[in-house]
Structure 1
Amino acid sequence: MSLDALAPLPAPGVHSPPQEPSRPRLVPVERTARRRRPRLAYGIVAVLGAAAIVAAQMVISILTTQDSYALAELGSQQRQLSWERQILADEVAGLSSPQYLAANASALGMVISEAPTFLRLSDGALVGTSQAASWQSSIDAVGRGAVANALITDTPLVTDPAATIEGVPVEITSEDGAATTPPPLTDGLPTPTTR
């Protein structure tokens, strides 16, 4: 509650003179107020802060760009290495295939015996007839097999490096004798030239 509410009300018919609000006294200024200089330190800090933010954004942008190029290069290397790994896996599968092993054994003069002989490991005894094979094998391991193996068609035999499983002379595909990998795709997929 305010004090004006508790003040006595004027009697009816009696008017009190209106009160004028009090005004502050005006005093003449003897000299002008000194103009404040802006603080130089605040301005320098603001400019340096803005420059630091811009520099940080540029550094982050450059590092991001470098990382994207590094990722692209690593992706290309990964594709190249996966191709090489697939080529090596195919070579291992071909070299361990029964056709390649039989062709190398045949080139060494080994034949398939009709009466196999086994060695019993428990006592070291030979089980079966042990006689030298004086006949020719009916299986031509070096010649064309029933099912051709594309992985070893051009692979030279270990016993005769100048011949393959099909008897074709070996053509070396690269300078060091290793298999060549497909060319890396740098400009997208290769397309034929049309006229």
Structure 2
Amino acid sequence: MSAQAATARPLSTPAARPVRRLRALELPALRRRPRLWYGLIAVAAALGIVGAQMVLSVMTTQSSYELARLNSQHHELTLQKQVLDDELAGLGSPQYLAANAAALGMVVDKTPSYLRLSDGKILGAQKAASSTSAITLGKGSVANELIADTPLVTDPHATIDGNDKQKKTSTTENMTPVPVTDGLPTVRTH
């Protein structure tokens, strides 16, 4: 039955097809250009970042050079302080004070006297010191190299050794170095 029903049915008339007409296409929509301002802002921001990085790099480099200069200056000042401390220690040494006291005419009293502060009484021999007991640096004393060339207070040309400072410097300035004729000097072992 179904085969008969399918053949028995009349075919419907095709629906009216719309008539197609040829027509010109519309102009394609214009593409919007990217905004110029957005590009300029992006380029300016990139240049700003690069510029800031360069400025920070230069400042860091400059501060490192400044730090190195200050460290060098600190080192030099530390060395100067050490030299001044050595000079101060030499000027306060017993040898220098004794030599200046002798240059001023002071003498050592073999029998000292003492003043008692409670009642003002003088205890001791109460004799003046003789000029034969002058302060001297004998052969048994050890030389102090910190003050070897330091002039005495009373005589700027005399040193603690009693030598004239001008004579000492003139003899060392006139010395010529020993010429080396055949290379570096070496110790002879044969």
**TM-score past 0.5 threshold:** yes
Q: Aligned equivalents of 2:154 and 2:134: distance in 1?
A: 21
Give the 3-state SS of the residue equivalent to 1:136 in structure 2: helix
> Structure 2 regions of 5+ residues with no counterpart?
1-23, 167-182, 185-190
User: In the comparison of the two structures, how many residue pairs are matched?
Assistant: 145
Q: TM-score, normalising length from structure 2?
A: 0.69
Tell me which residue corresponds to 1:149.
Answer: 144
Q: Aligned equivalents of 1:103 and 1:37: distance in 2?
A: 99
Post-superposition CA distance 1:37-70 (Å, at most 9, x none): 1011211111011101111111111111211221
> Structure 1 regions of 5+ residues with no counterpart?
1-27, 172-193
Post-superposition CA distance 1:121-143 (Å, at most 9, x none): 222221212111125127513x5
Q: TM-score, normalising length from structure 1?
A: 0.67
Give the one of 156, 162, 169 matched to 2:164.
Answer: 169
Post-superposition CA distance 1:140-182 (Å, at most 9, x none): 13x55521111111000112211010112225xxxxxxxxxxx
Give the 3-state SS of the residue equivalent to 2:50 in structure 1: helix
1:35 to 1:112, Cα distance in 2 relative to 1, 3 A: same
- Which structure is higher in RCO with an 8 Å CA cutoff and minimum separation 6? 1
Amino acid in the other structure paired with 2:28: T
Tell me which residue corresponds to 2:86.
Answer: 90
Q: Aligned equivalents of 2:95 and 2:104: distance in 1?
A: 14
Structure 1 residue 94: Cα displacement: 0.4
| Equivalent residues of 2:90, 2:146 under 8 A apart | yes
1:128 to 1:79, Cα distance in 2 relative to 1, 3 A: same
Tell me which residue corresponds to 1:187.
Answer: none
Higher relative helix content: 2
Sequence identity percentage:
58
